[in-house]
Amino acid sequence: MNLLVCIKQVPASSKVDVDPKTGVLIRDGLNVKMNPYDLYALEAAFAIKENYESTTITAITMGPNSAKSVLEEALYMGCDEAVLLSDRRFAGADVLATAYTLSQLIKALGVPDLIICGKQTTDGDTAQVGPEIAEFLGIPHLAYVIETSNYNDKTIRLRNSYDTYDEINEVQLPCLITVDKGDWIPRLPSYKRKVNFKDYQIRTLTLKDLVDQDPKNYGLNGSPTQVEEIFPPDKSNTSINIEGSKEELAKKMFDILKKGKFI
Amino acid sequence: MGYIRVNQKLVNKDSVDELRKICPFDAFEYQDEYLSINAACKLCRLCIKKGPKGVCEFIETETKQIDKSNYKGIAVYIEQRANQAHPVAWELIGKAKELAKISQEKVIGVVIGDDVSKIADEALEYGVDQVIIYQDDLYRDFNVEIYTNVMERFFEEYQVNIILIGGSAKGRSFAPRVAARLKTGLTADCTMLDIKPNGDLLQIRPAFGGNIMAKIHTPNHRPQLATIRYKMFNAPSKTVPFGKVFYKDCSIISSNTRVKLIESFDKPKVKDISDAEVIIACGRAFKKQKDLLLIEPLAKALGAEIACTRPLIENGWFDPRKQIGLSGRTVKPKLIINLGISGAVQYIEGMKESEVIISINNDIDNKLFDISHYNILADIYEIIPELNKILEAYL
């Protein structure tokens, strides 16, 4: 089987602020990491590879050149190939343009049997890109998958977890799944694999490698939604600050709870 | 539409330094005295607004404008399972009615299912102008392919301006599929919605994974799509029905699918934190899982449900259904006590409607202190044992 895993580099810290006076974004360093849900996506792929002969796994991402580091991590964990899509003309892409761009990359690489995404990223938090990629590729998708079984090159059986119930579905391949934690335990990158991949060159594709090369369909220009304004969240100024020693604080807190008839 | 052009004549070391400082996405590259913008750019345009004058410039490119007056109506997708509507739909109808007053539009409920006449009656009681029903044996269970075909058909016929979809797990799988089919925008998990008289929807949600809100609009595409989490808005009070119900011909909609539902089963019930009256929420200040035992006496005294933030779910310490926030559950308890939570905006948006908010943190810069009713600047490891002593003596 051919598997493809979509991964993304996200800020390691959620400490992003906006200066209320100047409106400038303030980011706490530029530390980055792999989106944590993508670790489960990778692990889901590795589990299939361990059970199914002649499976290859390709990891893809989109972003600046520095995003290669998450692809390297994916290779050292167990992927066979990695591809970066990088072009300034993809800048400012919303969900639709991002999904369209990734679907174009997947078409250029050849649609695999199974595409696996994390259920969402921790920076965008939309959970929408995976399903939209599937629609652009004209293949079915299932979201919030927590278990895969009974796979062959025609179908796969999936357990997916909704808010209050689970479903078992059988889906024809090719298809796309977005995965939640499930029973997958992310592995660490292997030093041995790192050595093996010493001379490996991660392929970098740009707009000119895609089938649709019209820049109007990408980035800000291909994005139906636009950010009109960014602003800091509401602050209510009614906070009461409780002060004192730890004994006093505990006593004051107890009094608040008692006064509110919570105790 | 357009792009950012760098005026190389004005580029020097100072302007490069300044731009690099301003850009939150590290998108400027300076090499051989040439300043370029790389793929990390999100076109936030801060470099234009706040950067050295004239260095970065936004070049508008022309786009054909659609005629927005051709699109009228605010549709609310009414999700159902076993012919029971998900209550988020009523909350969305309430919000749709507020918006419709400003933009002078009709509110339309859309139901897909196999026996949904009761849901239609219920929708009418919440005051929709129309209920559009797609009823067929094949629509009994949610199927993302078939349901997308139905929504596509609905839009073809009704040319609505807006479609609101509840942000349940199923809704979050369905909405993006519909958006991509209709080649339009979709904003996930809006925390506020507003509308301009011309029908432009303002979709407000946290952005950039941080403590920032973004006001998003869809200037030149219709329909405008948004998902909204359960318990974000209030359901309207019931009214004497005045709307009309329309059953549509489904024979012309393709029911081909590659997804076969084998079985579905309810999860063992965990007490849902969405309905809890008192919540103690734990954050990253808890260093070890067994330290959570510290809060047992307080939880018992308050009859509180214990919930947590996303990092503790990632640690595997809690069932994911115990997570508060836009990526977990939205809660509105009478009392919430936040223990050692820094208050990422996605967390705050999931609990800020709580009636009484008490936050304990030893970092004065935590964001929860901005929205809490009581702020206690303390280490949870110091104050909770003290509180436990008082509780023990009192009870």
Contacts of A248 (CB under 8 A, 6+ apart): none
**CA distance, residue A194 to nearest chain B CA (Å):** 26
Q: Is residue A237 part of a domain?
A: no
Q: Which residues, listed in sequence order, are joined to residue B186 by a DSSP beta bridge?
A: B225
Whether B20 has its CB under 8 Å from any CB of chain A: the answer is no
pLDDT of residue A193: 97
Strand B278-282, strand B305-308: pairing: parallel
Nearest CB among B27, B38, B172 relative to A143 is that of B172
Least-confidence region, from B44-53, B241-250, B284-293: B44-53
Place of tokens 């990390």: B40
Average pLDDT score over residue span B355-376:
91
Q: What angle do CA B37, B43, B48 make, to 5 degrees?
A: 80
Tokens of A234: 């509401």
The closest alpha carbon to A230, from B352, B217, B371, B189, belongs to: B217
Please check whether residue A14 is in contact with residue B344, taking contact to mean a CB–CB distance below 8 angstroms.
Answer: yes
pLDDT at B241: 96
- What's the pLDDT tens digit per position in B184-220? 999 999 999 999 999 999 999 987 665 678 899 999 9
The alpha-helical segments, DSSP class H, found in chain A are 36-51, 68-77, 95-109, 129-137, 191-196, 246-259
The shortest CB-CB distance from A91 to any of B39, B188, B210 is to B39
pLDDT tens string A171-211: 999 999 999 988 899 999 999 999 999 999 999 999 999 99
Contacts 24+ apart (CB under 8 A), B27-35: B27/A64, B27/A91, B34/B8, B35/B6, B35/B8, B35/B11
Alpha-carbon gap, residue B294 to A149, rounded angstroms: 41
Per-domain residue ranges for chain B?
2-60, 68-247, 273-394
Query: B192 and chain A: CB distance < 8 Å anywhere?
Result: no
Per-residue b or e along A198-223, where b marks 16 or more CB atoms closer than 10 Å to that residue's CB: eeeebeebebebbebeeeebbbbbbb
Report d(CA A79, CA A71) in Å as an integer: 9
Position B320 scores a pLDDT of: 87
On chain A, the residues whose CB falls within 8 A of the CB of B266 are 164-165
Residue of B nearest to A28 (CA): B24
> Quick check: A30 and B3 CB within 8 A?
no
A257 occurs within a structural domain: no
Q: What is the pLDDT of residue B172?
A: 96
The per-residue pLDDT for range B84-117, each reduced to its tens digit, is 999 999 999 999 999 999 999 999 999 999 999 9
- Residues 298..357 of B with a Cβ closer than 8 Å to A: which? 301-302, 310, 314, 320-321, 326-327, 334-335, 342, 344-346, 348-349, 352, 356
A171/B43 touch (CB, cutoff 8 Å), yes or no? no
Question: CA separation (Å) from B177 to A132, A141, B88, B337, B373?
Answer: 5, 9, 20, 38, 41
Domain count, chain A: 1
Neighbours of B114 (CB within 10 A): 14
Q: Do domains B68-247 and B273-394 have the same CATH topology?
A: yes
pLDDT value for B326: 82
Low-confidence ranges of chain A (pLDDT < 70): 13-30, 234-237
Instruction: For residue B224, give the H/E element and its range.
Output: strand B224-228
User: CA nearest B333 in A: which residue?
Assistant: A262
CB contact under 8 A, B3 and A220: yes
Q: Which of A109, A114, A111, A107 is nearest to A152 (CA)?
A: A114
Could you tell me how many CB contacts below 8 A there are between chain A and chain B? 326
Write the single-letter amino acid at B255.
S
CB contact under 8 A, B264 and A165: yes
How near does any CA of chain A get to the CA of B145, in Å? 7
Q: Which of B178, B203, B390 to mutate to test the interface with A (most CBs of A within 10 A)?
A: B390
- Beta carbons of B24 and A86 less than 8 Å apart: no
- Out of A120, A168, A239, the one facing B262 most closely (by C-beta) is A168
With CB atoms and an 8 Å threshold, state whether A128 touches B2: no
Q: Is the ipTM of this complex over 0.85?
A: yes
B377 contacts chain A (CB < 8 A): yes
Q: Which residues in chain A are contacts of B186 at CB distance < 8 A?
A: 95-96, 128, 225
Is the pLDDT assigned to residue B11 strictly greater than 60? yes
Q: How far apart are alpha carbons B343 and A128 in whole angstroms?
A: 24
Closest-approach residue (CA) in chain B for A180 = B320
Q: What's the whole-model pTM score?
A: 0.84
Other beta carbons less than 10 A from residue A65's beta carbon? 14
Asked whether residue A238 is assigned to any structural domain, the reply reads no
List phi, psi (to 5°) of A28. -80, 90
B358 vs A: CB within 8 A: yes
Rounded Cα gap, residues B343 and B368, in angstroms: 5
B37 φ, ψ to 5°? -110, 130
How far apart are the two ends of chain A, measured CA to CA in Å?
59
Q: Running DSSP on this structure, what letter comes out for residue B64?
A: P
Residues in chain B with CB shorter than 8 Å from the CB of A121 are 209
CATH of domain B273-394: 3.40.50.1220
**Nearest alpha carbon to residue A161 among A171, A140, A146, A181:** A146
A183 touches chain B (CB under 8 A): no
Cα separation of B261 and A158, whole Å? Answer: 10
Q: pLDDT digit string (tens) for B252-278?
A: 999 999 999 999 999 887 777 888 899
The confidence score (pLDDT) of residue B121 equals 97
Kindly report the CATH number that applies to the domain delimited by B68-247.
Answer: 3.40.50.620
Of the candidates B40, B49, B48, B91, which has an alpha carbon nearest to the alpha carbon of residue B274? Answer: B91
Residues of the domain holding A43: 2-222
Residue A26's beta-bridge partner residues?
A: A17
Q: Do the chains contact at A14 and B344, CB–CB below 8 Å?
A: yes
- Cβ pair B70, B22 in contact under 8 A: no
How far apart, in Å, are the Cα atoms of A34 and each of A10, A37, B20, B212?
Answer: 6, 8, 23, 21
**Shortest Cα–Cα distance, A197 to chain B (Å):** 25
- CATH number for the domain running over B2-60: 3.30.70.20
Mean of pLDDT over chain B: 92
Whichever domain contains A18, its CATH number is: 3.40.50.620
CB contact (8 A) between residue B263 and residue A141: no
Is A203 a domain residue?
Answer: yes
